[in-house]
Chains A and B, each alone.
Chain A
Amino acid sequence: MSTPENLAPGVVPPLLDVRDLVKHFPIRRGLFGTPAAKVHAVDGISLSIAAGETLGLVGESGCGKSTAGKVILRLIEPTSGSIRLEGRDITTFGDGDMRSVRREMQVVFQDPYSSLNPRMRAGEIVGEPFINYGMGNAGEREDKVASLFRRVGLRPEQMARYPHEFSGGQRQRLGIARALALGPKLIIGDEPVSALDVSVQAQVINLLMDLQAEFGLSYLFIAHDLAVVEHISHRVAVMYLGKIVEVAPKRALFGAPQHPYTEALLASVPLPKPGMRRARQTLKGDVPSPIAPPSGCRFHTRCPYAIPRCSQEEPLLHKVGEGHDVACHLR
C-alpha cells in the first residue's frame, strides 16, 4: 500500500483522484491476434471527487464515459494512468487487495434488467456482499438485507422474489441496495436512471440524493441526460472522444459553458417549454470514430469556430475560472 505523495501535511486528499487515465482496446486481427489498431476509449482523463460530492460525467455515446467508470472500478484494466482512492494507489492492486477496496467503492449500472442475476432471489442478490466478506450469520444477514430493502423503499417481504417479478424502478432500487450493503464511500453510477420512465426516474434520483445526505456518499454520476446531471451533481465534467473537454462547478458549466462542444450539447436539449424552440446551430455530422480520432482538438471536425491551429495542436485543459477548466484554444 502506498502513502499519498506530493501532499502537504494536513491536506486531506480527495476521496477519488484519477490522473491521466488511459484505456485503449486493441483490435486484434489475423491468426495470432496481433493488435492491428486500437480504440481510444479513454485517452488521458484526470478527475477528482471530494467526500460527499457528486461529479457528473456527461458525453454522447461512445465518448468513453462508461469505460472510464469501469476502469476506475477496476472491472476493466487501465492501459496507463493512476487511480487513487483515499490516497491509496489502487491502479495495480491484485484481486486480493482490490477486494478490500471494493467495500469502499461500489457501482450501480444502467440496465436494471441485466445487472441482476435472473436466477437469484432479490434477498440473495442484496445479501451477496455480506456472504463475500463473511459478515454475520444467516440471521444477521437477513436482518441487514431487510433494513436495506426498507431503506431503498422496498418491502422486506419481497426478498423471496426473483428479479423478473419487479418493475424497472424496483430493480434499480435492488441494485442500489446491493451497492449500499458494504457501506461504501463512493458509488459510481453508470447511467443509473437512463433506462427508467420519467416518473420512476424522479423516484430514483430523489433516493440517490437522500442517501447522499444520509451517509455522506460521493457519487461519480455518469449520464447523457444533461438536465438530470445538472440536478444531481455539484461539479460536471464533459467528455468527447475519450477526453475531458471541460470541467466546472455546475452553475458555471450550465450558466457560462466555455467549450464549443458543451455549448452545442446544451443547445441541443429540447426544453419542455413550448414556443421556446431555440434558434440554434445544430452540430453537423456525427462523432468521429475513436479508432482514428481527429488530430489536434478532437472536436475540430464538428466545431463551428475551428481555426487551423485546432487541427494541428491538441488543446490542454487550462483554468478559466474558479475550478473551471476547459480544453480549447479559443478560450
Chain B
Amino acid sequence: MSNANVSAGAPPPAGTPLLSVRGLETRFFDDGMALKAVDGLSFDVARGETLCIVGESGCGKSVSALSVMRLLPPPPASRVDGTILLEGQDIRALSEREMRRVRGNSISMIFQEPMTSLNPVVTVGYQIAEAVRQHEGKSWAEGFERAVEMLRLVRIPEPERRVKEYPHQLSGGMRQRVMIAMALACRPRVLLADEPTTALDVTIQAQILELMRELQEETGTAIVLITHDLGVVAEMAHRVVVMYAGRKVEEASVGDLFERPCHPYTVGLMGSIPELGSSLVEGKGPRRLAEIPGIVPSLRAMPAGCRFAPRCPLATDRCRTEMPPLEEHRPRHWSACWHWERAQEAIHVHA
C-alpha cells in the first residue's frame, strides 16, 4: 500500500457561505402525532468547501437535505421551520414555481439509489438535456450537446453512445455518474449528496469520490456530503457535522474532529469501526470493537436531557435531565456535551 501523505487540501478561505441553514426543524405528522425528525440544525457551506454530515440511520441527515431541497411531502404531512439562505436568498420564502427554477440550477441533489432517481423510460441524454433546456432556456440540440459534455466530464467512456442509452443499460457505477452529471449539468453552486456511494462497490466508490473532488476543484461547487462512513468523511470533508437523533452534537474541521473528538457519540462511532490493516499491528489478536450499547431512540419517545445519555458511558444525572447546549469549546469546534473534556474516555467495551 503506497500511503502518500497528501493533505486533504487547505480549507478554502472563509468567505460568505453559499448555503446557510439556521435552526432547521422538520416535523412529520402521523396519526395526529408530531414527530420532530430534525431539531435545530444549523450549518454553513462556502464555495469550494465540502461539509460532511455524519450519523446513523434515523438521525435526520437525509431529512435535512430533503428539507433544504423542499422535496418533503407538503404540509400537512410535514412542516419545516428555520432559515435556509442560498446565496443570501431565503429559499423558504420562494413559491413552488420559483423553487423549481432554483432546484437543479443553483442547488442540486444526488441520491443514494440512482436507479430509482432516474426515469427508466427516457434516455439519460434526454434527462440531462431536459434539465438544461428548462433551467437555461437552451434548445434540444444544445441540451444534448451539454449532456455529452457532462457525461465526458464524469468520465463515462464513449459519451456519444451512452447518451442514447436508457438507465437500465448502465452499470450501478455508471448510473451514479449519470446522476452526478445530471446534478451538475446546470452548474449548481451547491450540491447535496445523500450517501452517493453507499450502494456502490469500493473500487467504484473510489472512482466516484475522486470524481467529486476533481469536479469541485474545477467548478468550486460547495458540497454537502451525507454519509455514515467515517472513511469517506476523512477523505472528503473539510468540515464535519455529527448528528444524533435529529440534533447536531458536534461540529469541527475534519482534522480536529478525528484528532480530538469532543462528544462521546463521535468517540463511540470511531471506536466501533474496525480498521483496515488491524492485523498488521503486532499483538495478540484483533482488538475488541467498542460498542455503543442500546439503540437509537425512537422519535416517539425521545429521552429528556441529552438524547445520547441512555447509551453514553459518561452520562450523569445532569445529562439525563438537562439538554447540553452546542458550545464552541475550542476555536471552530462545537459540541453539545456536559462532559466534553472527558469525551475521549467514552470508549465503551463490554466484558
Q: Which residues of A contact B (CB under 8 A)?
A: 60-61, 167-170, 197-203, 205-206, 209, 224, 226-228, 230-232, 250-251, 254-255, 263-280, 282-287
Contact = CB atoms under 8 A, between A and B. Distances in A.
Contacts of B206: 267-268, 270, 280, 282-283
Contact of B255 (A170, A203, A209, A275): A275
Contacts of B290: 202
11 contacts: A168-B57, A202-B272, A203-B291, A255-B280, A270-B209, A274-B8, A275-B255, A277-B7, A277-B8, A278-B1, A282-B207
Contact of A275 (B7, B233, B295): B7
B204 interface: yes
Given A202-B273, A203-B293, 10 more contacts: A167-B296, A168-B57, A230-B274, A231-B274, A268-B205, A270-B205, A270-B232, A283-B206, A286-B171, A286-B174
Nearest to B235: A270
Contacts of B76: none
B277 A206 contact: no
B202 A226 contact: yes
Given A203-B291, A232-B286, A286-B174, A279 B2 contact: yes
Contact of B272 (A170, A201, A209): A201
Contacts of A263: 1
B256 to A, nearest CB: 9
- Size bracket, chain B contacts: 35 or more
A12 B274 CA distance: 33
Interface of B: 1-8, 56-57, 157, 171-174, 201-207, 209-210, 228-235, 237, 254-255, 258, 268-280, 286, 288-293, 295-296, 350
Given A231-B289, A275-B5, A282-B207, A170 B295 contact: yes
Contacts of B229: 270
Contact of A254 (B56, B233, B237, B279): B279
| Residue of B228, B254, B291 ringed by the most chain A CB atoms within 10 A | B291
Given A276-B5, A280-B2, A268 B203 contact: yes
**Interface SS, A side:** helix
Contact of A199 (B6, B233, B291): B291
A271 B234 CA distance: 7
A-B pairs, top 4 by smallest CB distance, nearest first, are A270-B231, A202-B272, A231-B274, A199-B292
B250 to A, nearest CB: 15
B262 to A, nearest CB: 16
| Residue of A170, A230, A263 ringed by the most chain B CB atoms within 10 A | A230
A269 B280 contact: no
A209 B278 CA distance: 16
A60 B295 contact: no
Contacts of B230: 198, 272
Contact of B56 (A199, A264, A269): A199
A208 to B, nearest CB: 11
A279 B4 contact: yes
Nearest to B155: A284
B231 A271 contact: yes
A106 B290 CA distance: 27
B276 A227 contact: yes
Nearest to A168: B57
Contact of A274 (B174, B255, B279, B280): B255
Contact of B279 (A209, A224, A230): A230
B277 A254 contact: yes
A230 B277 contact: yes
Contact of A251 (B56, B202, B237, B279): B279
A231 B289 CA distance: 9
A286 B273 contact: no
